[in-house]
Amino acid sequence: FMRLSLIVNCALVLLLAVTNPGRLAALSEWIYSSLRSSFTIPVILALYGLILIYLLVSVYHLENTENTSTPRRRKRLLQGWVREEKSPSRPTTSPSQSIQASQLPISTRPTAPSASAPAKQTTPLPLPQPTASATPRLSDATPFSVLASWDGFPDGRIKCHFTPQQVADTSQLVIYWAADKLPGKRGSPTAPTPERGNISRFNCAGVIECDSKVCLSQIAPGADIQRQLQSECTCGSKLFHRSCRFEWSIARYINGAVFESNHIHTHARYTHLLVTPKSKPSQIQTFISMQPVSLISSQPTESLNVERADSPESSVLQRDEGELFFVSHTMCLTRDSR
């Protein structure tokens, strides 16, 4: 019925235009003259200015929305290296250099060891496992202890201030935990205080483990965990995902950065990466991280000065084998997760 009414109205308008061409021409001339007298050059420039202001406000609002809202797509952040197979004719390289991946196809079924020759031991060394199955937030009254180095695997209650030099030495505070980005706070990395700086927040993505009790593989989750779980471990067993609620934040400002966390991981450190290309079979790569970076310099001091954990600009001293070592402009404290 609506379509029929539209056709009838169009037919009537066309009939009026054919029967009264003079009136139609006069109406068109009046509309054209009105628009010409109204939309002068200043008016058009003002409209352009309003459009530009609207576009700028829209872009600013969109940037704020992206920084304060949870992203729809999980952005997986993972940094690290993979080990190249050792060869007698080639020297081993350090993780900081360019290292090619040693890619191992995942077996579709368990392979029995050969009776003629013993199987090569490929199981990684056991890592300390957490005793708790949950990640409760630690109490604010939990005591801190001094964190003397940075290895990229923060765990426990930590509040650590890094100088700009320490940020550079630790590869911009490299963290090897696979993580999802959480809503942070938009700020400037050149702000005078951490509270006004650029604050990024992350949540640990957990770990992919083998359901075999004798397999100690700890696989870093990727962007598509469900696709990874369709693969099998090198031992032929199924994989499952263990979640983790460990959260941390990094506030970057003019005098360095402040790292803070208040949880405990529910899993050990990663031992492998699992690559699942669409056109190729799944592959497992050995995970390798950088060497720990010392946060303590060997500058002796005369007095022992230990401040509270809520004083990020304080200096901390640690006694080691009868000598005092000075942490230059750094308060870096942690709670032992064990």
Residue type, 75: K
Assessment of whether the complete model's pTM goes beyond 0.85: no
Looking at residue 253, its pLDDT comes to: 94
- What pLDDT score was predicted for residue 170? 87
Q: What pLDDT score was predicted for residue 193?
A: 92
- Percentage of the chain modeled with pLDDT above 70: 63
pLDDT confidence of 68, banded at 50, 70, 90? low
Residue with tokens 């037919």: 11
- For residue range 231-257, what is the model confidence (pLDDT) as tens digits? 888 888 899 999 998 999 999 999 999
pLDDT value at position 199?
A: 94
**Confidence at residue 67, expressed as pLDDT on a 0 to 100 scale:** 55
Average pLDDT, the chain: 69
Instruction: Please give the residue that has the higher pLDDT: either 57 or 92.
Output: 57
pLDDT in tens, 112-136: 444 444 444 444 444 444 333 344 4
First to last CA, the chain: 76
pLDDT digits (tens, 9 = 90+) for 155-201: 888 888 899 998 888 888 889 999 988 888 888 999 999 999 999 99
Q: 261 or 335: which carries more pLDDT confidence?
A: 261
pLDDT at 291 over 70: yes
Q: Give me the pLDDT at residue 60, please.
A: 84
How far apart (Å, rounded) are the C-alpha atoms in residues 145 and 238? 39
pLDDT of residue 84: 34
pLDDT value for 257: 93
Q: Could you report the per-residue pLDDT of 69-118, keeping only the tens digit for each?
A: 544 444 444 444 333 333 434 333 333 333 233 333 333 334 444 444 44
Q: For residue range 132-163, what is the model confidence (pLDDT) as tens digits?
A: 334 444 444 444 445 678 888 888 888 888 99
